[in-house]
Amino acid sequence: MSLDVEYTFDEFFRDETFVDDFTYRNSPAGIRRFPFPFDRDDYMYSVNMEPHVPGRKGSVFEKTFDVDEHYVSEMRDRARVLARDPLRCQSLPHMTLAGWDLLELIMESKAREYPQWFSLEKNGNRWRWINRPLGIDHTFTFLDETTLPYGPMEYITRQTQGDFTLQDEREGTLWVDAGMVTTQADWSLDFDIGMNFHEWHAPVPLAHEKGIFDRALKFLLKLQHGAPVRRFNWTMTVNPLLDTAPETYPEWGYMRTTLNQDNMGHMMHLRVELQALFRLPRSNAIAFSIRAYLGKFEELVTIPKWGRRLHRVVRDIHPDLAAYKGFLRNRDEMAKWLSKYDDGAPTSAGWWPED
């Protein structure tokens, strides 16, 4: 049994690449709905969590798991990464039930919120799942692994944009004991799997001292089923590489040395992670979705407010943060390019483009 996928592209789903010739780009509508993460002109860490409830129509907050114009191409890129390196998807033996919880959450959400693309029919534990953009029509038995071509987490996350990790809760902390990680900002699931909350966040500078992780953990341990939360994270990525893994750093690291004022606009991308956390009903685990959105500098500055604000954030960021996020060496050139789009005018509060 294998997962037979047919990648179908149309006027909505773009046929594009995240490697080699890098044909990825956002449509004008895609730029308008880009989740610009800065609600003010400067940036420092905060826990910044809010309830993951339906947001503005058309925005990336509207649905539980946003499906956008890059969906089919992103799933093709995930399959490419997994074919090269199966260690990007791992689940410790006690996490299978949490995988089923995740599969149920995603299938029910997508079938309810995107009926034109997904459907789920249940007859007891016999479920029929249809994923039209990927050409999948599959009947299986819920909670019976032998009826799926992969484990439940891998099966559903091969069909869902964004990375996922599953956290087991024990000893008063969370343990990252499973994950599908192919669109990551430079962290290794293979190395971190099995670590607790403070351990896997250990390399992050400044935030431990500020008590960010102690507060975040306290908050997450109280997370209730049916009341998910979300937050933003962000970094910078040269070229639209979804997969900036430490494993392949020797293949993409040099790209950071190729930037100049002429190519900055189309090569440098603001990489925004929309992170959402869900308590799962059977396993009591927490699912963490990390959805990466890539916006080219030249796309983002078409929104005047974002051009002004991005310039100010990049120019003024703490050097330790710029180093951790991997753009310290390019920061001055980035600020120089962005300064052309900052006339010094005041910006309105909040991240929406038109406010």
Verify binding: residue 118, another protein, rule CB under 8 A: no
Strand pairing report for 286-296 and 163-170: antiparallel
Interaction of residue 192 with another protein, rule CB under 8 A: yes
DSSP string, 65-134: S---TTHHHHHHHHHHHHHH-GGGEEE-GGGHHHHHHHHHHHHHHHHHH-TTTEEEEEETTEEEEEETTT
Residue of 160, 186, 1 whose CA lies nearest to 74: 160
In the complex, the smallest distance separating the C-beta of residue 256 from another protein, rounded to whole angstroms, is 5
**Distance of closest approach, residue 329 Cβ to another protein, in angstroms:** 8
Q: Which stretch binds another protein (CB under 8 A): 6-14, 121-129, 188-196, 269-277?
A: 188-196
Q: How far apart are CA 287 and CA 166, in angstroms?
A: 5
DSSP class of 243: -
Size of the site for another protein (CB under 8 A): 26
Which of 191, 215, 218, 261 contacts another protein by CB under 8 A?
191
What tokens does 219 get? 């908050």
202 binds another protein (CB under 8 A): yes
Region from 8-16, 32-40, 183-191, 273-281 binding another protein, contact rule CB under 8 A: 183-191
Residues 269-328 that bind another protein (CB under 8 A): none
> Between 209 and 262, whose beta carbon lies closer to another protein?
209
Closer residue to another protein in complex, CB, 128/249: 249
Is residue 203 a contact residue for another protein (CB under 8 A)? yes
Residue 219 touching another protein (CB under 8 A): no
**In terms of DSSP bridges, do strands 126-131 and 118-123 run parallel, antiparallel, or are they unpaired?**
antiparallel
211 binds another protein (CB under 8 A): no
Q: Does 231 participate in catalysis according to the annotation?
A: yes
| Window contacting another protein (CB under 8 A); options: 36-44, 109-117, 131-139, 186-194 | 186-194
CB 223 → another protein: shortest distance, Å? 22
Name the CA radius of gyration of the chain, rounded.
20
Q: Does 206 bind another protein (CB under 8 A)?
A: no
Report the C-alpha gap between 86 and 90 in whole angstroms.
8
Count of Cβ atoms closer than 10 Å to residue 181 Cβ: 24
Residues between 234 and 253 that touch another protein (CB under 8 A): 246-250, 253
Nearest-approach distance from CB 195 to another protein, in angstroms: 7
Among 39, 113, 169, 190, binds another protein (CB under 8 A): 190
Under DSSP, is residue 303 helix (H, G, I), strand (E, B) or coil? coil
Q: How far is the CB of 285 from another protein (least distance, A)?
A: 18
Q: Is residue 68 part of the contact set for another protein (CB under 8 A)?
A: no
Please tell me whether residue 241 adopts helix, strand or coil conformation.
coil
DSSP string, 201-236: TTT-TTTTTTTHHHHHHHHHHT--TT--EEEEEEEE
234, β-bridge pairs: 272
**Distance (Å, whole) CA 212 – CA 229:** 16
Of 59 and 173, the one with the shorter C-beta distance to another protein is 173
Task: Tell me: does residue 256 bind another protein (CB under 8 A).
Answer: yes
> Catalytic pick from 231, 256, 315, 331?
231
CB of 200 to another protein, least distance (A): 7
Q: Shortest Cβ distance from residue 257 to another protein (Å)?
A: 6
Q: What is d(CA 194, CA 178) in angstroms, rounded to the nearest whole number?
A: 8
Q: Quickly tell me which residue has 């038995």 as its tokens.
A: 141
In the complex, the residues that contact another protein under the rule CB under 8 A are: 87, 171, 188, 190-195, 198-203, 208, 246-250, 253-254, 256-257, 329
Residues serving a catalytic function are: 231
